């Protein structure tokens, strides 16, 4: 753990006792305000190959190919559509059009604040305006968003969840522990997030949202994932009987998106 993080956690422990409301409010702002990172060189190449689509509410998506068979891709927190573009060529080669959504306050989409429920509403909007989709590929928190949106859709899409959490409540618990909140302030923090989002954390539980879902599922998760534990994948697969699990080792949470064998596996699943 670096020095800056250690000092930040120590500050939260002290200030959480002295000024708990202010400390929890600061944690809320930190959690709901995603950072935007510069595009990498390979992302710029895929950006230039695609075409941008403007949706309602300042949302943006990018599309590659032209086919009635469509796959939607949903990135994770502090990521963007082009981070998912490794999957594009294999899917195009199998006759799909690929559309990747920039979540609220991410990538080319407008805004400064975001949350899993806002992501889910963006996925629902993409389904209504750009769909129907034969399949969805979602990474990390994008998987929670896709799970909620798809549980409310009539379509039975094939769904790929990569490194996705099974429970937003557990995500908030891990975030609180990471920044040094006490157990009491953690519960205050979770209640505050629920109030801001307008939904209880149970509504964003991927495992329960996809339980009994009519589409086929493919869960891909690395056993050494330090951001979303491997146990989350086991929880999802236990609830979603029509899904199967692919486990990897040594790829972690993000590098798993950059593996050609994963791209090919996902494309084959979509056919």
234 φ, ψ (degrees, to nearest 5): -65, -35
Q: d(Cα 21, Cα 23) in Å, to the nearest integer?
A: 5
Reported in sequence order, the residue ranges of 68-164 that DSSP labels E, i.e. its strands, are 70-74, 97-102, 135-139, 158-162
Among residues 94, 99, 104, 87, which one has the least CA distance to residue 33? 104
User: How many other CB atoms sit within 10 Å of the CB of residue 205?
Assistant: 23
Angle of helix 3-18 relative to helix 168-179, nearest 10 degrees, comes to 100
Dist CA 255 CA 98 (whole Å): 21
Looking at residue 241, what DSSP letter applies?
A: T
Tell me whether strands 217-222 and 135-139 are parallel, antiparallel or unpaired.
unpaired
The domain segmentation of the chain, as residue ranges, is 41-167+205-270
- pTM of the predicted model as reported, rounded to 2 decimal places: 0.93
Q: From start to end of the chain, where are the E strands?
A: 51-54, 60-64, 70-74, 97-102, 135-139, 158-162, 217-222, 243-248
Please state which of the four CATH numbers 3.40.50.1820, 3.40.220.10, 2.60.40.2470, 1.25.50.10 is assigned to the domain occupying 41-167+205-270.
Answer: 3.40.50.1820
Element (H, E) at 234: helix 230-239
Q: Output the tens digit of pLDDT for each of the chain's 271 residues.
A: 577 778 777 776 766 677 888 898 999 999 999 999 999 999 999 999 999 999 999 999 999 999 999 999 999 999 999 999 999 999 999 999 999 999 999 999 999 999 999 999 999 999 999 989 999 999 999 999 999 999 887 677 899 999 999 999 999 999 999 989 999 999 999 999 999 999 898 888 999 999 888 889 999 999 999 999 999 999 999 999 889 999 999 999 999 999 999 999 999 999 9
* Distance from chain centroid for Cα 139: 5
Mapped onto helix, strand or coil, the DSSP state of residue 228 is: coil
């Amino acid at each position: 753990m670096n020095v800056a993080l250690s000092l930040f956690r120590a500050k939260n422990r002290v200030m959480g006792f002295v000024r708990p409301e202010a400390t929890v409010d600061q944690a809320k702002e930190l959690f709901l305000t995603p950072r935007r990172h510069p595009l990498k060189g390979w992302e710029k190449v895929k950006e230039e190959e695609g075409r941008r689509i403007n949706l309602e509410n300042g949302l943006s998506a990018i599309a590659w190919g032209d086919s009635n068979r469509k796959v939607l891709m949903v990135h994770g927190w502090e990521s963007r559509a082009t981070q998912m573009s490794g999957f594009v060529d294999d899917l195009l080669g199998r006759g799909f059009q690929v559309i990747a959504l920039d979540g609220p306050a991410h990538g080319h989409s407008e805004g400064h604040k975001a949350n899993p429920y806002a992501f889910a509403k963006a996925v629902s909007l993409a389904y209504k305006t750009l769909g129907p989709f034969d399949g969805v590929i979602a990474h990390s928190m994008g998987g929670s968003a896709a799970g909620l949106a798809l549980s409310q859709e009539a379509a039975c899409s094939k769904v790929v969840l990569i490194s996705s959490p099974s429970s937003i409540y557990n995500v908030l618990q891990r975030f609180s522990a990471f920044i040094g909140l006490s157990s009491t302030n953690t519960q205050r923090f979770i209640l505050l997030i629920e109030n801001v989002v307008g939904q209880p954390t149970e509504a964003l539980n991927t495992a329960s949202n996809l339980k009994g879902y009519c589409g086929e599922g493919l869960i891909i998760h690395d056993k050494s994932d330090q951001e979303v534990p491997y146990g989350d994948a086991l929880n999802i697969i236990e609830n979603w009987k029509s899904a199967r699990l692919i486990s990897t080792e040594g790829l972690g949470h993000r590098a798993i998106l950059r593996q050609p064998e994963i791209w090919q596996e996902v494309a084959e699943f979509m056919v």
